[in-house]
Every structure is written in C-alpha cells, then in structure tokens.
Amino acid sequence: MSTGTEGDTLCFFINGKKVTENHAEPETMLLSFLREKLRLTGTKYGCGGGGCGACTVMVSRYRPATKTITHYSANACLLPLCQLHGAAVTTVEGVGSTKTRIHPVQERIAKAHGSQCGFCTPGMVMSMYTLLRNKPQPTMEDITQALAGNLCRCTGYRPIVDGCRTFCQEANCCQAGGVGNCCFNGDKNPDEAEHEKPQLFDKEEFVPLDPTQELIFPPELILMAETSNPKTLTFSGERVSWVCPASLEELMQLKTSNPKAPLVMGNTNIGPDIKFKGVLHPLIISPTRVKELFEVTQTPQGVWVGAGCSLSEVRSLLEELVPQFPEEKTELFRALIQQLGNLGSQQIRNVASLGGNIMSAYPNSDLNPVLAAGNCKVSVVRNGGRREVPLNQDFFVSFGKTTLKPEEIVVSVFIPFTRKGEFVRAFRHAPRKESSFATVTTGMRVFFSEGSRVVEDVGIYYGGMGPTTVSAARTCAALVTRPWDDETLSRAYDVLLDELVLPPSAPGGKVEFRRSLTLSFLFKFNLEVLQKLREMNVITDELPEKTQIQPLPREIQPSLQEFQHVSKDQSDQDPVGRPIMHRSAISQATGEAVYCDDIPRADRELFLALVTSSRAHAKITGLDVSEALRLPGVVDVIVSKDIPGIKVRSMFGYDEELLAESKVSCIGQMICAVVADTRAHAKRGAAAVKISYEDLPEPIFTVEEAVEKSFFYEPLRMIKRGNVAEAFKTVDQIHEGEIRIGGQEHFYMETQSMLVVPVGEEMEFNVYISCQWPALVQSVVAETLGIPSNRVTCHVKRIGGAFGGKVVKTSVLAGITSVAAWKTNRAVRCVLERGEDMLITGGRHPVLGKYKVGFMNDGRIVAAEIQYYANAGNTVDESILVIEKILLHMDNAYNIPNLLGRGAACRTNLPSNTAFRGFGVPQSIMVVENMINDVAAVLGRPADQIREINMYKGPSATHYKLEFDPENMLRCWEECKVKSDYGARRGAINRFNLQNRWKKRGMSVIPIKYGIAFGEGFLNQAAALVHIYRDGSVLVSHGGTEMGQGIHTKMQQVASRELRIPPSKIYISETSTNTVPNTCPSAASFGTDANGMAVKNACQTLYQRLEPIRQKNPKGSWESWINAAFFEKISLSATGFHRGPDLYMDWHKMEGQPYAYFTYGACCCEVELDCLTGDYRAVRTDLVVDIGRSVNPSVDIGQIEGAFMQGLGLYTLEELNFSPSGLLYTRGPSQYKIPAVCDVPLRFNVYLLSDSHNPHAIYSSKGIGEPILFLGSAAFFAIKDAVAAARSESGLVGPFSLNSPATPERACLACSSPFTQKIPASKPGSFKPWALNI
C-alpha cells in the first residue's frame, strides 16, 4: 500500500448527476463540497456538529448481498466526502424546484406555514422526504422520530408537524375519523360557510404524493457494485490520507502498521473531535467496504451483530428478532431497542456504528451500560489471531479508553438471549428528551431461579457517574442470594449511594442530581421487577396503584388555531386579514432562497476568521502573528492599528473597542482577524496567532460580585408609585423572596454572516449582511473606514433568524470585515462558526430579582418593592435600555397601589449581553409572577385567584401614569380560562395527583400586558419607496428586514390593498440603504406598524396620481392605466413616510408615555412531571391573544407559537454554563438545548381574541413579535405547581425557591423525594464548582 501515489478517483452521484473527484481531500465534508464546489447552497450550515439538522441530505446505497437499495438521512456536515464512493446523494435541490416541479413535501411544509425564516426548512424537507421514500404512508410516531434531529428556532414546530401530518394514513388521525373539530376541516358544505371556522390552510388543494415520480437510483452504481472486484481506495490531501481497505486482512495489516490511525465509520465521534478540538490524524482508515464488519449470525445463545452496522440497522434487526422468540428470551433486545430509540437523532443513528459507539467509550454512553449488564461480548481480531472479550467493568479502562490494544479491531458484538426469570431494563436521563447526550444512563439485569424471588445473579452498570462506564459491584453483592423485597432494596440504596460517589467539582456538574438519578433508576427498576414477579405469581401482595410509573405521554394531538373571518363585504382581491403563505416559503422549501452565505464567491474573495481572547481580565503583553502569516493561504492579519477611521465606538458614554489593543475584559473578546483564501486556511491561521497575557486581579462574573464592588453601568434607574414604606406598616403579612433567571442564547439558525465587496473606485463598498438594522451597519462601516455614508450600501435580502442578536454585534463584525476588505482591496466574507457565534455575541441578560411584598389576608397586594440586577457583561451595549424596559413592565397586569422598582446593569467580565426578543420584559414579569405565586403559597390559595384579585380593572393608569383600558386584557384572561376548561381540569389534576406518587401534574394560567414601540421617540419612524413599472408590475422597498416574521408578506398585502391589485403583481427584492435611507431597526414588535404605514402612504400617493387616468377610462385594466400614465408624464414612483408616535419617558419625574398601546394575552399550560427524574411534558397549552385585527393570521399565529416555544426554552430548558474562569462551556447544540419537536405541547391551541380594534396601528392590527415569549413561563409555573404537589407528599408546604430555567435537575431536586433527601449536600465554598452560577 503506497500513500505517496496520486490517489484514486472518487465516484458518486448527486441529484442523479455523476460526480468524479480525482483529488478528493479527506478533510472535506460533503457540506462544504456541496456548497462551495457544486454551488448547491440549499443544504445549510447550522452548527457543523450534526446537532441541528440544517444540512440533512439523503444518501442511497446499493447492497449487492441483498440486491436492495437503502435510503437514509444524514448530516452533510459530518459526512466525509471520501466515504461517498458508490453512493447516490439527494439534496433539497434534487427533490424539487420552482423551475421543474415542487415536491409534495416542499409544498405542504410551505403551505402549512411551516417555514418562517426558512433556514431550517431544507433540512426539514430532507428528513421528511427520506421518511417518505422508505415509508410513503408514515405514522405520526414515524414523523416525530424523523424530525427529532432537526431544530427550528422560528415556528414552534406545530405547523411543520401539521404539514407533514397530511401524509399520515392513520385511523387515529382525526382527518380519517371524521371528527367534528378536526384539525383540517375537509369537505365543506356551502351553507355552513357562515358559521364555519376559517382554516389556516386547505389540505384539499395539495398535490398527492406519487412515489413513482422520484429520482431512480443510478444504474451505473448498481453495475459498479455488482461487478467491481473491490480494491483498496486511497485519497491523499493537504494534511491527511484516507484509506478504504477492501478486505479484513488488509484492514488488519493497516491497523498493525498504523496503530494510532482511527477507524472511521459514521464520523460522528472522530468528526467533531477534528472539527472542534483541532485533533489531527495524518492517516484515517475507513473500513466501510469490509464485509465481515456487517455480517449478522444467529446462534442458539444469541446473535452476533457486525460492529460496522449502523445503530439504525441494529435497531431494525432487533425489532425483527423480538417477535420471532418468546418474550423471556428478548429482554435484553427490548432494552437495547429502547435505548437506541433515544440515542442521538435519526441522522446520527443512520451513520454511527455499533462498534464505534462501544469503542468511543464515552463516560455517559447509552449502550455500554446495557451491553455490560446484559453480559455481551465483542469479537476482536488483529494480525495473528482473534479473541472474545467480555464487556464488563474491566473493559472500560479510563476516559475514552478500553482494554483493547491499539492494533485490535472489533469485528462483531454478541448480544445474548435472556433466560426465563431474567429481566433487563435500561434507563436514561438527558437534558432534552430527544437528540441529546445523556446525563446518566444505566443498564440493569436481574436473574431469579424459577418460582423464587431470591436473586441468583444481578448486573448493574451506570454511565455518566465517572470517567468510564462503572459497575455497581458492591450494590450487586448486596442483592445477590437475598429475596427481592423492600428490606434488601433499602439496603441496596445505601450501598449504591456509598459506592457511586462524585466529587462536588466533577466535570459536567449537576452532582447531587446525578447521584439522585442513580437511586431513582434503581427504584424504577425495582418497581418493574415487582410488577414482573407479580405477573409470574411469584409474589401475591398487591402493589399499590399509586406507586406505579407509566412513561410520560407523547402522542401529539391535533391543535386548534382560531381567528376571525374577514368581513363579508371585503373584496376577494383584498388579501389583508387572510392567512396568506409567507411570500418566499416555497423558495425556502426548495433551497432556492438566497441567504447571505449563499451568495456566490466573488473573484479572489477572502475569508475572515476572528482571534478572540482566552482570558477574562488581562493585559495583552504580546501579539505574534508571524507564524500565522507563514501558513499556506493566509494573506493578512487585521489588528486595531489597521483601522483607518474610528477604532472605539461609544454607547451611553461608555467606549467599546472594535478590536482589543492593550487589555481584554472577557473571554471571547475580539483581538485580531486573519484573512485567507479559504475558510479552512483562515481557521488554521487564527489558531496559529500567539497572544501573551498578564492576568489582572479578580475578574467579576456574577451579579453578587458586581454589587459588592459597585460595578454598574450608570445610570441606575428607579421608579415608584405611592409610598411603599408607609404601606408596609399597614399590611397583614410581609414576605421576602428572590428568583434567578438564567440567560439565553439567540441560536438563530443562520450564524452571523457578511460579505464586504470593494467596488474598486472612490472608496465605495457594498455590504451584503444578515442584520436587523442595515442603517447602523452602513454608519459603522463608514465611520470605521473614515469615509462618508454615501459610499457604503448595505443590502439585506433575508435573515435566517435574528431575535435581537443581529443589531449591535453584527455592526461591529461588519466594521472589522470592512477593514479587511479595504486593506486587501478584495471581497471579504465572514461567517461565524456556531461555537464562535455563541462565544462572542452574548445573549439575553441573566437577572437576579429580589422582592419584598406586603399583602392582606384576602389576597390583595398593597405594596411591593423589587430590585433587579442584570448581568450586562463587559460592555454596556443596550443594557441601560433593557433595565428601563424591565422597570416599565414590572406591574404586568396588576394594579399594586404602592410599588417601588430599582434596576441595575452590572458590569462583569463575561461577553456582553444584548437585545433579545422581549428586551428585559420576560425577566421583569417573571419576578413579579413568582412573587404572586409566593403570596398564594403563603396564604394557601390558588395562584390564579390572587392574580385575579390584583388585576387592573376599569380605566387605569400604570405606575408611570400612562392611562389605558384593561378590558381586552381581562377578556383574554376570562376566555383563556373558558377555552382551556380550567375549572374542570384543575379538579382532574388534583385527582391525578392523589392517585400517583411519583408523577404529578401541574397547571398555571398567566396574563401579559406588553407595551409596543420604541420608548425612544425618534426610532418610531419609517420610510418606503414604491416603483410602478410600465408593464404594471410593482417593486416595493421599505426599511424593515425580513427575518422570518413575515414583514415582506405583510407589506405586499398592504400594497395590494392600497393599489387594489393582486399580490402577484407586487415584488419585494431586499432591504437596502440606497433605496430607503436612515431606517430604524426591525425590532420592538414595531416593524409592521411603522413600515406598513409608510408603504400605505406611498401607495396612496400613487393611487391618487392615477385618479385622472381612471376617470378617463374607468373600465380599463391596471396595465392600461399605467401605460397611459407614462405617456401623460405622470410620475410612477413615490416615497412614503410614517412619523410614528412621539413617545418619551421622564426618569426624573418617573412618568411618561413610552408605549403607543399594549398587546395582551393569557396562557394556560398543563404539564406532567416525573418526580424521580424531573422530566416533564407539556400536555396542553391554550393561548388567547389580543392582536387587534390581524393583517395575516397565519403569520401572526406563527409568531405566537414560535415566541411561546422560545419562552418555553428560556424558562425550562436552555442553560448557559460558564467555567470558573469565565469561558462559555455551552457553545453548540450538543451542549445547549433549544426546544425540539419533542418539547411541543401535545395540544397546542391558539385563539386570536375576536372583535378587537386598535386605532394606533395599521388596519387596526397590533405588534406581536415579542409579547408572547413571556407566556412560555406558564410552563415554568405549571412545573412549579407539580413540584409543590410532590413536596406535599414529603410534608413540605408553603413557598419554595425554584430558579429559571426549571431544568429537570432543578425540578427533581425541588421535589425533595426520599431519594434526593438521601444525597448529602456539598458545602458551598468548600470546593470549586464545575460551572459558575451566573
């Protein structure tokens, strides 16, 4: 075998076209090959680690042994190009396009409104398409499994699931059962049209799925597979060689001569190591063509499974075997099937191999504890021999290491049959129910001799309780030869507690929780075994019903979306108020929609990679770029001295450097940037830059530390109404409490992206960027380069999600990129990787809220004093404005006569936090609602009663003297209780909780009053430019940016109504600073309000200009009028302007009018909680929202659902962890969990309040982008309600502390079950925790 040769030719197919690569680069993944080499940009980069599904493609292979073709979905970001020899790949472009035909999957996701920003849509399409290729009539279970590995940050998933549900042919889907309130009302009776509820989409008009129309598998590949006498393939690249041996002998020789070379099958383990940890393997061996690794043989004792089989194949194999044997023989098979269903995502399981999963020896492995407990073994070969090695405690030596020698290869894995009287169970707990690494896993097996409850043999293994899979050997010894009863088990719990000890600073944290899970799992195993012994009549004593544990419910039910019909007299042509599909949903679903990084490479374009600080608080003593400049492809390094214009930007009187020069104040602060000819070269160049530091004393990370040292950003804000001190003297009771609300990462699916192109003369630049405020980018670039703004044009076509995270930081990044473009005089592209993006750009402010509340025994709150501390990070950013908005919303829906609020933005050495959907309101109201919950707990009354007693009623004024009428807020509240059947379900929950000891249900109902528009009056303005061309087509430009919220769709509706022409004649191309200047940010839920009025103004001007033409020819067509107007020399272009409300807030007088109006809503949420693990499921959610008269109900309901799910993430799931030195640990989807399909409420109903009007905004509508995010807290308070029910079992009543997010860890520990009470708490201060409590 010679690696020095040219290398072989790689041959595979993409979308039916043959691709031959003569110089395949082993380090290239399919994703970059598709995007950069073939310019197939429909497949998106979302995370690079197989965690988000944005890059999903379908891989098809021919199996000569069985003469079958298999199709499976996979993540292109982890698929090495060299692995694709002989495969056929289908991307979203190959599924369908607007030029040829749209595939039913694409059509249905788009028309069901399942695409908002559209960045995740191609991945969703591919996951669903692959499922349909394998199973044209899937079940709901199939669909949720297929989509489990695809994340979406915009929609809340409900519309995606509804679109896919139309392929279902299930009896239990309501559409087949003809249920009255079906999720899709089918056959309509014309007489009923009046009373009938309008639907968001009509499934009758969908094109049916025709499996015969799909791309065929290329016959050439079948021929190649059938005839080829397999020979070894070798591919050599810049730094790595890739060898694909054809036989087991050759594989053994390769491994003997290169024992350090990894074997790569699915690349789901080696891939992320290479990408994120910078590991370099000069030689990679890929044994995908060694047939011995894929053989399956049955023996009387069990089954040998080839180590190369993918986890999906192993699962299917076991599922086929289970029905062929008696139940007692397949206990282990069934336990493995269960674990395989939860391990990773569909895309990962389709490529990851069984042998790879075992050999990676992860401490929290899902399979290893079960395989070990089940007495499995592996068959291992090396040159000169084969041996069988049992999988037991001796197999796993240390982190990622097994007892096998480097040159040994696992060929197959033996999975034995179980015996009569033998039971095997697997349990796991993970931060998110699906597609998530486990926290703790376990495999447990017990064997009883026939007819006895005496334990003959037992095996218990845990994952996640140390650096390796561990055996609980002493616990097993305490069980063996003893009868399986309470006495034996209570002894076993104590032994286990003693045996599996984690040091308090163990990596991964959550120490008390992990220890309590080991006990909970053993207890769950105990319950299952008792159940089995009872079934076999070994024991006769009845098990109390109360203690049995059923799994949490998971069936997604059809949901309701209720909105009002447009009025009878509205013209059919007028689209306003109708549920119109997002105007680019189809091109988003076909992958044709162009995002910033999809723009083709410019000539000699460079790529920019940032170098960031690795210290939280230090002086920079040296910056050595010489080594970076010597690397291939590196062109230049940009440092602060290179900036020709302004190097330091000022906000609120605080300075922020674009690039740090002499000192750094957080890990992740930008110091310099490397520009190179490719992404890979720029990344390597950045890694080669050497920076030396001198640490400065005492970095500050938490708000407590900042408060102690008075590190605040001035001004500190205060607001008060009434006299709190006097009021406290008159109340019946006073309660004090506090709550922490964690931060949140934006996790927009498209990371920060920009391309700066020098035009080549007079210092003119074009900036193509993904940002919410093009005008800010324009001015930052101009100031940074020291040129006038008229030389910089900023273009925003669309944004792949933003949520507030693409305003301030994006402009700073654009400034740095523009310096590189100016200095090199070449186009420069900067696209952050997910990890860098999360590290650098900050997120939502974590807040600590402390309150003191005085109330009467009847529940009236008379006085409250609240102090908010926000962790602002190392620069001021928009933190002062966030603090102001926090204080302005601290009354929420409640009329508290004496109120005092103080807010402080704390200056810390963490990356600066910034705007995030809701802008402080979700933190502000959370503290208030928690305070009200505490009052209810002290008084022992239902929280909703306390809420009701204290609500604003009748004409009211806020604490800053803004007058408003709360009627619609009270209507939302009442309607929410009616629609959700609150009273009856409350009773049902109480009965459920009496009947279940280890599972509890909880429910809460929460209101919101949210102020719309910018408190800074000058930001409430907007402009538009409308052109009518001679053929009658219309081009609209306005100042808003499209980020999935559907603003372009709504502007098209506005123009259509005002010009009285169909929307198909109106086009919106992009948002750019050369068509509409001096725009304001698309933020504060004000985009449609402002820009809609501006577009309306321009269209009315044009329509009036055409009046004389219409009078001359009233019967003429629109085209004829336009043509006539041109010959009459009438201008067919107009600007529109909207001067929004003059809002202000006087902080000295503590009064003002900071908002134009309020958007109201209420949410009722019910959850079911597993008290032993803290896992929960949102069973049902009902949202009633007052948004005036919706301009587009489908878009608005999409915003409501998406905001609710983002709030659900904030309050129950998403956790940012920082190391003790201030480094963000959670830098990607594998560590940071945003809600996935498995987190959607099983019933998710949205009702738009009927007969509501709003005189302050366009067509009587209301802003809806942000308000509903806070209502995700209904899930938090429902969990808290369920926890309270669990605590009462342990005799604990009254208020208790539960911080946000209410992760399974927090919920489980708060339940205070007998198992968590056994865990000794570690004393704070006696150890260094793994992560800071921010």
Read off the pLDDT of residues 619-630 as tens digits, 9 standing for 90 and up.
Answer: 999 999 999 999
Q: Is-contact 147 140, C-beta < 8 A?
A: no
Q: Is the dihedral of CA 941, 944, 947, 949 positive or negative?
A: negative
pLDDT in tens, 971-1001: 999 999 999 999 999 999 999 999 999 999 9
What is the residue whose two structure tokens read 């049959």? 417
pLDDT number for residue 170: 59
Residues above pLDDT 70, as percent of the chain: 97
Cα(1004)–Cα(1274) distance, integer angstroms:
6
Task: Give me the mean pLDDT over the 666-679 stretch.
Answer: 98
Cα(127)–Cα(112) distance, integer angstroms:
17
pLDDT in tens, 556-577: 999 999 999 999 999 999 999 9
pLDDT in tens, 5-31: 568 999 999 999 999 999 999 999 999
Q: Which two tokens stand for residue 267?
A: 């690349």
pLDDT number for residue 278: 87
pLDDT number for residue 6: 66
Cα(46)–Cα(122) distance, integer angstroms:
12
Residues above pLDDT 90, as percent of the chain: 93
Q: Is-contact 93 189, C-beta < 8 A?
A: no
Q: Decide if pLDDT at 367 tops 50.
A: yes
Mapped onto helix, strand or coil, the DSSP state of residue 756 is strand
Cα(609)–Cα(830) distance, integer angstroms:
7
Cα(579)–Cα(97) distance, integer angstroms:
24
Cα(320)–Cα(968) distance, integer angstroms:
57
- Residue 825: exposure state from Cβ atoms within 10 A (0-12, 13-18, ≥19): exposed
Task: Give me the mean pLDDT over the 158-172 stretch.
Answer: 85
183 pLDDT band, cuts 50/70/90, is very low
Q: Decide if pLDDT at 4 tops 90.
A: no
657 pLDDT band, cuts 50/70/90, is very high
pLDDT number for residue 166: 95
CA atoms within 13 Å, Cβ hemisphere of 917:
32
In the chain, what is the straight-line distance between the N-terminal and C-terminal CA atoms, in Å? Answer: 55
1326 pLDDT band, cuts 50/70/90, is confident
pLDDT number for residue 195: 58
Q: Which of 575, 572, 571, 569 is nearest to 1051 (CA)?
A: 575
62 pLDDT band, cuts 50/70/90, is very high
Cα(882)–Cα(1061) distance, integer angstroms:
42
What is the amino acid identity at position 461?
Y
Sheet containing 68-75, strands listed edge to edge, beginning at the edge strand earlier in sequence: 17-21, 10-14, 88-90, 56-63, 68-75
Residues designated as active site: 1266
274 pLDDT band, cuts 50/70/90, is confident
Q: Which of 494, 345, 259, 356 is nearest to 1237 (CA)?
A: 345
Q: Which of 1263, 952, 958 is nearest to 1091 (CA)?
A: 1263
Cα(369)–Cα(377) distance, integer angstroms:
12
Q: Which of 369, 360, 344, 367 is nearest to 518 (CA)?
A: 369
Task: Give me the mean pLDDT over the 521-538 stretch.
Answer: 92
Q: Which of 34, 169, 144 is nearest to 89 (CA)?
A: 34
Q: Decide if pLDDT at 180 tops 80.
A: no
1044 Cα distance to chain centroid? 15
pLDDT number for residue 854: 98
Mapped onto helix, strand or coil, the DSSP state of residue 781 is helix
Mean pLDDT computed over every residue of the chain: 95
Q: Which distant-in-sequence residues (6+ apart) come within 8 Å of 108 by Cβ?
A: 114, 163, 164, 166, 167, 206
pLDDT in tens, 683-713: 999 999 999 999 999 999 999 999 999 999 9
Q: Decide if pLDDT at 451 tops 90.
A: no
| Separation in Å, CA 1196 to CA 50, 1006, 1264 | 31, 20, 7
Cα(59)–Cα(1276) distance, integer angstroms:
41
pLDDT number for residue 173: 47
pLDDT number for residue 773: 97
What is the residue whose two structure tokens read 């000891």? 997
Q: Which of 1209, 1220, 1227 is nearest to 1334 (CA)?
A: 1220
Task: Give me the mean pLDDT over the 1245-1256 stretch.
Answer: 96
1295 pLDDT band, cuts 50/70/90, is very high
Provide the 8-state DSSP code for 732: S
Q: Is-contact 886 868, C-beta < 8 A?
A: yes
- φ and ψ of 1014, to 5 deg: -85, 130
Strand partners, 296: 305
Q: Which of 291, 313, 350 is nearest to 130 (CA)?
A: 350
Q: Decide if pLDDT at 326 tops 50.
A: yes
pLDDT in tens, 777-814: 999 999 999 999 999 999 999 999 999 999 999 999 99
Q: Which two tokens stand for residue 1033?
A: 């087509």
Q: Decide if pLDDT at 1089 tops 90.
A: yes
pLDDT in tens, 880-928: 999 999 999 999 999 999 999 999 999 999 999 999 999 999 999 999 9
Q: Which distant-in-sequence residues (6+ apart) come within 8 Å of 220 by Cβ?
A: 13, 18
Element (H, E) at 494: helix 486-499
Q: What SS3 string covers 443-470?
A: EEEEEECCCCCEEEEEEEEEECCCCCCE
Q: Which of 32, 14, 12 is nearest to 75 (CA)?
A: 32
Q: Decide if pLDDT at 517 tops 80.
A: yes
Q: Is-contact 1308 513, C-beta < 8 A?
A: yes
Q: Which distant-in-sequence residues (6+ apart) come within 8 Å of 324 by Cβ?
A: none
Angle between helices 121-134 and 104-111 (to 10 degrees): 130
615 pLDDT band, cuts 50/70/90, is very high
Q: Decide if pLDDT at 185 tops 60.
A: no
pLDDT in tens, 1174-1215: 999 999 999 999 999 999 999 999 999 999 999 999 999 999
pLDDT in tens, 837-890: 999 999 999 999 999 999 999 999 999 999 999 999 999 999 999 999 999 999
CB atoms within 10 A of CB 20: 9
Q: Decide if pLDDT at 2 tops 50.
A: no
Q: Decide if pLDDT at 830 tops 80.
A: yes
Element (H, E) at 283: strand 283-285
